[in-house]
Chains A and B, each alone.
Chain A
Amino acid sequence: MKKLTKSDFFWTFVRSNFAQGSWNMERMQALGFCFGVIPIIKRLYSGDERKQALKRHLEFYNTQPFVTAPIIGVVSAMEEQKANGKDIPDGVINGLKVGMMGPLAGVGDPIFWGTVRPITASLGASFALGGSLFGPILFFVLFNLIRLLVRWYGIKYGYEKGTDVIADVAGNTLQKITEGASILGLFVMGALVNKWTSVHVPIVISTIQKQDGTTAVTTVQTIFDQLMPGLIPLLLTFMCIKLMKNKVNPIWIIFGLFAVGILGYWSGILGM
């Protein structure tokens, strides 16, 4: 009876932190996944069976890197059964990986890249802009803590539940988490668009000499601010969304906005 040990899982956990190291245009994270499960393969197989197992895990694979954890767990459980004589064809294990990677990436991308990282990073940046070392440290610790917990418990959970995980992936829980994360992410994005941008249009519309000797200067910006502070960044954001939906590379949009900045500054329409 072959049994995976605690240390096998520990080393798989450690290695899975390097899952994307050999990301390539042909099979993406294939080699990375194989690299991650090597402690498992080493424990369970030798000789020709080992060669077969390595080949099996060098097939095309790609998902959001943190949600690979439960897939590694399920695969470990199946490999353990297979090594103990249960008849599981190669295609079933691969089918499971390919079947889970899509839905899990659909959950992992909005949660981690859309919510967790933007929020922890902007929180860190808010301190960093004042020159405080606390900002980078906060971001690094917070993000990695969340990430490592997901990795560690993901592998554990996948291994313990085995193929039952597939029912969970299709179920409500993940959808709830994704939707909740999206709400949080969008809410904070709304706040950032308003607070963490600055557009200033200093064109003077009227200068009124008041009775008490002071002058009241009305600029275009004053009017915008009375209407709704942050209106121009909001409109710019929607313009960017529209352009990206039309497949314009974001880096070109950035260059475009730089050009707008230079022209605006040069002509005096935009100020610091």
Chain B
Amino acid sequence: MELNGAQLIAIFIVSAIAGMGSVLDEFQTHRPLIACTLIGFILGDMTTGIIIGGTLEMIALGWMNIGAAMAPDAALASVISTILVIAGHQSIGAGIAIAMPLAAAGQVLTILCRTLTVFFQHKADSFAREGSLRGIDICHLGALGIQALRVAIPSILVAMYIGTGAVQSMLDAIPPVITGGLQVAGGFIVVVGYAMVINMMQAGYLMPFFFLGFVIAAFTQFNLVAFGVIGLVLAIVYIQLNPKYNKTVAAAAPSGSGNNDLDDDLDD
């Protein structure tokens, strides 16, 4: 499918916004749910975009930037895989499979960009010495612009060559045993994301709640909203009953005076 000029411009803008979202991690425009949907809309098949987004989102659930550790890049993976599926006429399973190496490549690219932007940090130092507020704004936003181009340039290249048939024949050359296998793997690849979330919590003593969720899911038909409510109730009850948090009240009660604040401070 050949893309027209307006579509190419729109892809450039959306992929730039996704690239910025990836470093900012604020508006979540880099998340598959958002980026794939927007690309799908541009390519005239939003429903497919939404489904790819939902599938990729589950895989990417645990991809997060913690401290100085960079996550696999959801932005590049979402944008390009959606283009390949819709404009390159691939199956969603194949799209997901291609998204993974793209996420790894995006991770390398963002580390590269975050090293390049050290230059902007130093430029900002010299603007600070001049007392130039505008200079600092330009440095900050310039660095953000590099992150936007990081995703926008590869995406627009893919979008431009998708109609030429070269990309198409390359994708069609993938044997069915690979695409089938990748589709099978798609069923359980999501556990990596779940494992990342569990690892990040670093709360081994709370794992009984994990097993409870697992068993309830195994034998009921509850949906996610129900699980959310049950989980919230469990959390509140746990906090209310936990002796760790009730100590101060018990200790302060016999004194009966207004020293609670002081006691709190001492106990902390």
Contacts and interface: CB of A to CB of B under 8 A. Distances in A.
Interface of A: 17-28, 30-32, 34-35, 38, 41-42, 47-48, 50-51, 54-55, 58, 62, 65, 105, 109-110, 113-114, 117-119, 121-133, 135-136, 139-140, 143-144, 147, 167, 170-172, 176, 179-200, 228-230, 232-234, 236-238, 240-241, 244-245, 250-251, 253-255, 257-258, 260-266, 270-272
A129 to B, nearest CB: 4
Interface string B89-132: 00000000100100110010001001101101100110111110
Given A18-B144, A172-B248, 12 more contacts: A21-B141, A21-B144, A23-B114, A55-B125, A62-B67, A124-B54, A128-B54, A167-B265, A187-B235, A233-B191, A250-B72, A263-B181
Contacts of B238: 179-180, 183
Interface in B215-247: 215-219, 222-225, 227-228, 230-232, 234-236, 238-239, 242, 245
Contact of B136 (A19, A54, A172): A54
Contact of A110 (B136, B184, B201): B201
B181 A135 contact: no
Interface in B28-73: 28, 31, 33-34, 37, 46-48, 50-51, 53-55, 57-59, 61-64, 66-68, 72
A255 B59 CA distance: 12
Nearest to B104: A251
Chain B facing A: main interface SS: helix
Contact of B54 (A48, A129, A187, A236): A129
A17 B213 CA distance: 34
A35 B137 contact: yes
B140 to A, nearest CB: 4
Contacts of B27: 17, 140, 144
A163 to B, nearest CB: 14
A136 B35 CA distance: 9
Interface string B188-230: 1111101111111111001101111111111100111101101
Contact of B117 (A24, A229, A271): A24
Interface string B162-184: 00000000000000011011111
Contacts of A236: 188, 191
Nearest to B143: A22
Contacts of A55: 125, 128-129
Contact of B143 (A31, A143, A194): A31
Nearest to B120: A22
B139 interface: yes
Given A20-B26, A255-B100, A245 B199 contact: yes
A17 B26 contact: yes
Given A139-B28, A237-B191, A51 B137 contact: no
Interface stretch (B2-10, B17-25, B252-260): B17-25
Contact of B58 (A122, A140, A189, A254): A122
Contacts of A182: 201, 203, 206
A51 B224 CA distance: 52
B235 to A, nearest CB: 4
A181 B114 contact: no
Contacts of B100: 251, 254-255, 258
B217 to A, nearest CB: 4
Nearest to B27: A144
A100 to B, nearest CB: 15
B140 A21 contact: yes
B136 A271 contact: no
A257 B185 contact: yes
B144 A24 contact: no
B133 interface: yes
Contacts of B136: 31, 34-35, 38, 54
